[in-house]
Amino acid sequence: MVDLDTTSHAQLAQFVVLPDGRGYLVSSSMPQLGSQETYQLWGTVGKEAISLGLLGASPRQAEFTMAGSTRPTRLSITAEPSGGSVIPTGPVLATGTV
């Protein structure tokens, strides 16, 4: 289980990450975003943020896969433009250690 907490230590989301690299959103208290925004999930490898997928404007279910030989050490969520971003453009809303 990976708890993603805000800087004030409030849990924003919880994911389960399986040994094979598959991950699932278990719970979310993320508020609804406007139609021009989406939540984006990031994995941190070293100091680099790698997109793990778009979660939508009001995530309740999500699935992702962490492929490759190097696994992220952290998961983070940002709010991005509706099509997503190549690198995070908004502030990190919540983060947690994998």
User: Which of 33, 74, 73 is closest to 55 using CA atoms?
Assistant: 33
Residue 41 pLDDT class (50, 70, 90 cuts): very high
| pLDDT (0 to 100) of residue 81 | 97
* Pairwise CA distance, residues 85 & 45, whole Å: 17
Q: How do residues 24-40 score in pLDDT, each as one tens digit?
A: 999 999 999 999 999 99
Range of the domain at 67: 2-97
CA dihedral sign, ordered 46, 49, 50, 52: positive
Residue 2 pLDDT class (50, 70, 90 cuts): very high
| pLDDT (0 to 100) of residue 53 | 95
Q: Is the pTM of this model over 0.85?
A: yes
* Other CB atoms within 10 A of residue 52 CB: 21
Q: How many domains does the chain have?
A: 1
The CATH number of whichever domain residue 41 belongs to comes to 2.60.40
In this model, does residue 83 exceed pLDDT 90? yes
